[in-house]
Amino acid sequence: MRAVILVGGKGTRLRPVTYDIPKALVPLRNQPFMGYMVDFLRSGGLDGAVLSLGYLPDQIQAYFASQDLDGFSIDYAVEDYPLGTAGGIKNAERYLDGGTMVVVNGDVLTGMDLGKAIERHKATDALATITLTSVEDPTAYGLVEVDHEMLVHRFLEKPAYDEISTNLVNAGVYVLEPEVLEMIPADREVSIEREIFPELQAQGRLYAYVSSSYWKDIGTPRSYLAASNDVLSGAVGAREDFEYLDVHPSTQVGKNVKLLPPVSIAEGCEISNGATIGGRSSLGLGCRVGERAVVESSVLLDGAEVEAGAVVRGSIIGPRARVGHGAIVRGMSVLGAGCVVGEGNVLDQGIRVNPGVFVPPRSLSF
Ligand code: GDD
Ligand code: MG
């Protein structure tokens, strides 16, 4: 069985990180997100996937070209313009085998039992089975009302507060019969959540499978940092040989450096005397942390630099960005690629956008 992985979105809620890195490739414990996705699909017994792409497709294709996927086959369906979450599946049709398929949102990190979801789907006359997870605030998701037989009675994308009738939401992992492809008009933007699921529900052919396993949509700075912490802590995706101190042997570590697990440090990093790295941090390729600097619960992307005496807490530092001498960056701040927080400055809950990128007002948010 094959999957369609939807990775055509622009990742607007994870800007400015996603100006340079598609959401599909943001690293968790220094492994691009798609690595976890392939492991997840394999865990469900799938043998290949079609990547439904639109935004920054070259980077995603280059990533897969560099991987040895041990027989897991990959095809690419690239959109000329965004076709939406159902249009993206339709566009992948030529690479599917005409049988039952799995579809996943390409920004969902989960430990759910995919094999069991497929099994449950096959035990019903469903044309589609949506997996569900329980969240505190369903307003950012697709709310799903089910009955005692797991038949879906209502699918409501992004409900308003006064429409919340359940905490169960669409987990972004579906099992679909090929008939669903016939319901999707070709060559126009179609939303599976707003158009196809309500239609399947009306036909009484939409079922649900509830999972209580780990689940997170990594699409905002807050949830990306939380997912990074969880992966570093071994809460999801951990294998038998999991290392809490995942430090590349090339790392240059100065005197009196504190590395507090869990941390992940990629190739070519330099940690100077007296610096502290810990509390669930990951440092990408060639990052530099200066003397007595502190990095805690943060993600430093490739080539980021934290100068002497600076403090970075609970924040995302973009590729080649720099936190100046003695500066403080905290409170879920995000620095875009190449941004600089000057010497001694404080950035608290702030966003700095890459030099040269025009950002329309109010287009950035947590
Ligand atoms: N190919 C393609 N084309 N993919 C797209 C497009 C498109 O036009 N638009 C979005 N995608 C991809 C995104 O890249 C992402 O991986 C996935 O589809 C879902 O899009 P998001 O923009 O992340 O949606 P969301 O998080 O607001 O809501 C969706 O996911 C929730 C679970 O995380 C919905 O499916 C909700 O119902 C669901 O609860
Ligand atoms: Mg999402």
**pTM for this prediction:** 0.94
Question: In the predicted model, what is the mean pLDDT of residues 323-331?
Answer: 98
Per residue in 194-210, pLDDT tens?
Answer: 999 999 999 999 999 99
Q: Ligand 2 center to residue 119 CA distance, Å?
A: 25
The residue among 48, 58, 59 whose CA lies nearest residue 2 is 48
Asked if 52 and 167 sit in the same domain, the reply is: yes
Asked if 178 and 282 sit in the same domain, the reply is: no
Q: Ligand 1 center to residue 109 CA distance, Å?
A: 13
Which ligand has the nearest atom to the CA of 140? 1
Which domain range does residue 266 map to? Answer: 245-359
Say which CATH number the domain at 198 has. Answer: 3.90.550.10
Mutation pick for ligand 1 pocket among 6, 12, 78, 136 (CB with most ligand atoms within 8 Å): 6
Least confident segment among 15-24, 187-196, 334-343, 356-365: 356-365
User: Exposed (0-12), middle (13-18) or buried (19+): which is 202, by Cβ within 10 Å?
Assistant: exposed
pLDDT at residue number 366: 45
What phi, psi does 285 have (nearest 5°)? -55, 135
Q: Ligand 1 center to residue 191 CA distance, Å?
A: 9
Asked if 72 and 204 sit in the same domain, the reply is: yes
Sign of CA dihedral 348, 333, 263, 233: positive
Minimal-distance CA residue to ligand 1 atom 21 = 9
Asked if 71 and 207 sit in the same domain, the reply is: yes
Asked if 202 and 253 sit in the same domain, the reply is: no
Asked if 201 and 269 sit in the same domain, the reply is: no
Question: In the predicted model, what is the mean pLDDT of residues 126-132?
Answer: 98
Q: For the chain, what percent of residues have pLDDT higher than 90?
A: 92
C-beta of residue 163 within 8 angstroms of C-beta of residue 143: yes
Question: In the predicted model, what is the mean pLDDT of residues 6-17?
Answer: 93
Using CA atoms of 175, 178, 183, 184 in order, give the dihedral in degrees to the nearest 10. 80
Q: Is the pLDDT of residue 10 over 50?
A: yes
How far apart, in whole angstroms, are the C-alpha atoms of residue 131 and residue 215? 11
Q: Ligand 1 center to residue 44 CA distance, Å?
A: 21
Where does a domain end: 203, 220, 237? 220
Atom of ligand 1 nearest to the CA of 141: 39
Mutation pick for ligand 1 pocket among 105, 144, 193, 201 (CB with most ligand atoms within 8 Å): 105
Minimal-distance CA residue to ligand 1 atom 10 = 9
Q: Is residue 229 included in any domain, yes or no?
A: no
Query: What lines the ligand 1 site, CB under 6 Å?
Result: 6-9, 52, 54, 79, 82-85, 88, 105-108, 141-142, 157, 169-170, 172, 193, 217, 219
Overall number of domains in the chain: 2
Q: Is residue 72 included in any domain, yes or no?
A: yes
Give the pairing type, strands 245-247 and 168-176: unpaired
Q: Ligand 2 center to residue 164 CA distance, Å?
A: 19
C-beta of residue 44 within 8 angstroms of C-beta of residue 90: no
How far apart, in whole angstroms, are the C-alpha atoms of residue 209 and residue 173? 10
Give the pairing type, strands 263-265 and 245-247: parallel
pLDDT at residue number 360: 55
Minimal-distance CA residue to ligand 1 atom 28 = 141
- Mean pLDDT of all residues belonging to the chain: 94
Question: In the predicted model, what is the mean pLDDT of residues 325-336?
Answer: 97
Mutation pick for ligand 1 pocket among 33, 59, 85 (CB with most ligand atoms within 8 Å): 85
The residue among 326, 327, 325, 347 whose CA lies nearest residue 336 is 347
Say which CATH number the domain at 272 has. Answer: 2.160.10.10
What phi, psi does 134 have (nearest 5°)? -100, 130
C-beta of residue 39 within 8 angstroms of C-beta of residue 3: no
Asked if 203 and 284 sit in the same domain, the reply is: no
Per residue in 201-245, pLDDT tens?
Answer: 999 999 999 999 999 999 999 999 999 999 999 988 777 778 888
